[in-house]
Structures are given as C-alpha cells and as structure tokens.
Amino acid sequence: MNKELDLSVSCYGAVKDLRYDVAILPWGATEPHNYHLPYLTDCIAPRMIAVKAAALALKENGVRCMVMPPISLGSQNPGQKELSFCIHARYETQFAILKDVVDSLHTQGIRKLIIFSGHGGNNFKNMIRDLAFEYPDFLIIQSDWYAILPCKGYFEAEIDDHAGEQETSVMMYLQPELVDLNMAGDGDYQPFAISSLNKKVGWTPRHWNRATKDTGVGDPRKATAEKGEKYLNDLIPIVAKLFAEVGKEELY
C-alpha cells in the first residue's frame, strides 16, 4: 500500500512531514460501462494507473506526487442521464470543484496539478485557461490515460472507446474481481448518419441510447488481463515520465 502516494488510503501522519512536487487528480464519472464493468471504472482505472506511475516517478526520479481521491462527477451525453444512476455533472459544477481543489492546494503551497482523466466526456481546457488568470503561479495539466498510447498492437478491436476491449482488459488486470465478462454485451455501435461527423469534420455529442444498445462502444469479449498488463507495462513509464518532468521542470 502506497500511503505516501495515495490519498485514498493515506493518513495525515504519513504525509505531514513530506514535501510534494505535484498533485495528481484522477477525474472520472459515474456511469454504466456496458453490462460487465463497474459504474466507477473511469475513476478506478486512472487512480490505480496514477499510483503506479507515481511510485515509478519517485523511485527513478525522486519526484514525489500525491494521487488524490478520484472525482466521480463527469459530463454525460444525451441518452445517458436517463440510465439508472448515471450522474451528469454540468460544466459549472466541475469548474467549481476544480477551482476549490486548486484554491486549497494553492493555500498549502502546492503549485502543480495534473488532472488525470478517465472519462472521454470530460474536457478541462477552458477551465484550465480561466484558472491560469486567477492563479498565474499555479500549473494545471490535463492528461487522458486512455489516449496516451495507441491501442494498435495491443488490442484487436477497430472501434473501441467505451467499455470495450481496451478498458475491459485494463480493468481485468487492475481489479479482476470487479469484471464479469460473462455479462458483457457485444458493444455494437451505430455511427452518425452524417458521414462528416464520423470523419470528425464537425462535432456534436452522440445520443447514447441511439448509438448503443448496451451502453458500450466496442466489443469487450476478446479482452484479457494479459492484454491489459502488456498495455499498462508500456503506458505507466510514459505517465511516470510526465509526472517526473512536471515535478522537476518549469514550464518554460
């Protein structure tokens, strides 16, 4: 247990005399993930990946990070809010939470924060820009764990962006007791009728209950813990390097 690095399991006695270089804030959502993954998948995965990366950054670079408890309030698409216990957090809600976190850390003398996101619906860029004016001496960086390392060569699915092979394999490796692959739907996905939207020429949120029948996008049934382990073994050093560079270097 990494008490010095993981605030979810830590206590004041373990951290009060240590100096921290960077705070890491996992940020996910509360939402269905097909039929087989837990509602808090987008919180569990980034937190556990961040803790492993923080341990590596400390071991190899002497940079000490604190991984804070995950935020479970994410932005949802139309058609998701109607699903049982799926919680939609407005921009204003997320911004208020982030601002309170930054204000608290700033008061404590911490000046660097990495938002380590596990939910594709979250986007903090405008919030980070706004806070850069209010806290000019405070650095905020957003990183999305699932988008750092391309899936090609690790997973077989061509379409895979929600509770599919990548996310399921990672969860099977990190917390296999929370995954019941026998319950999984096939993650079949209905694209937009407007081809330009599928080609990313324009953007609008997908209407979830029209795009997918089991809340998933991508077939999870070929997922394995071994695939998740191989992927994370290559991903975690990349994340650890980000943590270490942010901790040791100035922005310019």
DSSP string, 178-212: G--GGG-----B---SSHHHHTTSS-----HHHHB
- Residue 113, phi then psi, degrees to nearest 5: -140, 130
Reading the block at residue 13, the tokens are 């006695």
Single-letter residue type at 85: F
Burial bucket for residue 192 (CB in 10 Å: 0-12, 13-18, 19+):
middle
Could you tell me the pTM of the whole model? Answer: 0.96
Residues 6+ positions from 147 with CB-CB distance below 8 Å = none
- The whole-number pLDDT of residue 159 equals 82
Work out the angle at residue 247's Cα, subtended by the Cα atoms of residues 93 and 245, and round it to the nearest 5 degrees. 105
Question: Which of 100, 105, 99, 91 is closest to 132 using CA atoms?
Answer: 99
**173 C-beta neighbours (distance < 10 Å), count:** 22
Tell me how crowded residue 146 is: count the other CB atoms within 10 A of its CB.
Answer: 21
Quote the pLDDT of residue 17: 96
Tens place of pLDDT for every residue, the chain, 252 residues?
688 999 999 999 999 999 999 999 999 999 999 999 999 999 999 999 999 999 999 999 999 999 999 999 999 999 999 999 999 999 999 999 999 999 999 999 999 999 999 999 999 999 999 999 999 999 999 999 999 999 999 999 888 989 999 999 999 999 999 999 999 999 999 999 999 999 999 999 999 999 999 999 999 999 999 999 999 999 999 999 999 999 999 989
- C-alpha to C-alpha distance for 219 and 67, rounded to whole angstroms: 31
| pLDDT for the residue 216 | 96
